Amino acid sequence: MVGALKLVLASSSSRRVKVLKNLGLNPIVIAPKGVEEVLEGPAEEVVRRNATAKLRAVLEEVRAVTEGVSSKVVVVAADTIVVTREGRVLGKASNIEEARKYLKALRYGRHSVLTGVAVALIESGSLRDEVVDVVETRVKMRCFSDEELEAYLRSGEPLGKAGAYALQGLGALLVERVDGDPYNVVGLPLARVNELVVDVAGVSLLEEVTRAGEG
């Protein structure tokens, strides 16, 4: 990434990478290793813990590769879950049966999508600052039919998605309304990420993109 800021995304999610690249950013992507996502406990604490764990899992590697680098290095990690109207936490659907169960639980009502975002600043190989926040978006599902549900399952898209649907894909056809940041449902609430980057680094992603364009 050109400019005074280097951006590292601590994630194995192609969706999060694509969201940033669509802005004109080109993050260094480092997948967190050895992190077991937890789903037990209050929903906000779950995503805070998971995002922080992902962030810290890559910090040593980031410090090693950026030692002596004069520019600021910002590391971003995120974790997204879905919370049903009954308060049940849904993570990523690992198989079709689990996806079917998740989508039936979400049908006919509203649910929350929570993303924990952890952002750290590294300068000259040293950790200078770290912040963590949680963003919530409310989603109302359509009263989609069993036939639509099975068609969506056949697409394969629900697998590996929090709550078993993707707002940026065919899953959008199941959604009636989104209250809040739609990017949060995709997995990376861009406006809040930008604010946290400003908090730790004093530079916004918008400034970086336009600076790179001028160069």
Return the closest-CA partner of residue 51 out of 75, 29, 74. 75
The set of residues, in sequence order, having a beta carbon less than 8 Å from that of 77 and lying 6+ positions away, is 9, 10, 11, 32, 51, 52, 54, 55, 58, 117, 118, 119
**Which segments of 84-211 are extended strands (E)?**
89-90, 110-123, 126-141, 175-179
Distance (Å, whole) CA 162 – CA 60 = 28
Q: What is the DSSP letter of 161?
A: S
**Which residue is listed with tokens 């364009």?**
213
Token pair of 30 as six digits: 């480092």
Locate 8 and state its tokens: 């590292």
Catalytic positions, written as ranges: 79
Query: Alpha-carbon dihedral of residues 115, 181, 131, 212, nearest 10 degrees?
Result: 120
Contact present, 186 and 168 (Cβ < 8 Å): yes
| Cα 16 to Cα 18: distance, rounded to the nearest angstrom | 5
